[in-house]
């Protein structure tokens, strides 16, 4: 199992980035796909027809999102922590995901960079 950690920058306030990550209508805009999402701890979510799915654990408005992302039948929960920090140019987003199965790591992290957070960056840069 591996951990992935990376920083991303967005030309928007932490509150705007937070809303883009937690409101189903906004998520649908930048993913271009059906979304099931409720900003409430304990609820399950799904992006891209279940390509990413999991459970919401914690929300701190404009600052932090904690989720468990599902990987098939893996025993260890894969926890995603997204922290938002105000930056001179907008927002610095810290993305940390624990317990990514070794065999999925390369494909999964390239998907995060290209589609998940890459799509979000494209949304704010357009």
Q: What is the CATH number of the domain that holds 109?
A: 3.30.530.20
Strand pairing report for 52-60 and 90-100: unpaired
Mean pLDDT on 63-85: 89
Could you tell me the two tokens for 3?
A: 């951990």
Dump pLDDT digits (tens) for 109-124: 998 999 899 999 999 9
Mean pLDDT on 49-64: 93
Cβ-Cβ contacts under 8 Å for 6 (sequence gap 6 or more): 94, 95, 112, 113
Q: What is 77-108 written as a DSSP string?
A: -EEEEEEEEEETTEEEEEEEEEEE-GGGHHHH
Alpha-carbon separation of residue 39 from 18, 25, 36, 43 (angstroms): 11, 12, 10, 8
List the domain range (segments joined by +) for residue 108: 2-125
Could you tell me the two tokens for 6?
A: 């990376």
> How many domains does the chain contain in total?
1
Residue 110: its pLDDT value, please? Answer: 93
pLDDT exceeds 70 at position 126: no
């Amino acid at each position: 199992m591996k951990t992935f950690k990376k920083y991303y920058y967005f030309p928007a306030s932490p509150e705007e980035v937070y809303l883009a990550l937690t409101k189903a209508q906004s998520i649908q805009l930048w993913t271009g796909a059906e979304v099931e999402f409720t900003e409430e701890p304990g609820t399950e979510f799904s992006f891209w027809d279940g390509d990413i799915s999991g459970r919401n654990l914690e929300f701190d408005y404009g600052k932090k999102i904690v989720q468990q992302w599902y990987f098939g039948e893996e025993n260890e929960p894969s926890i995603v922590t997204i922290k938002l920090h105000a930056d001179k140019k907008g927002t610095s987003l810290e993305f940390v995901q624990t317990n990514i199965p070794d065999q999925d790591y390369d494909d999964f992290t390239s998907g995060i960079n290209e589609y998940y957070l890459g799509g979000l960056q494209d949304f704010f840069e357009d």
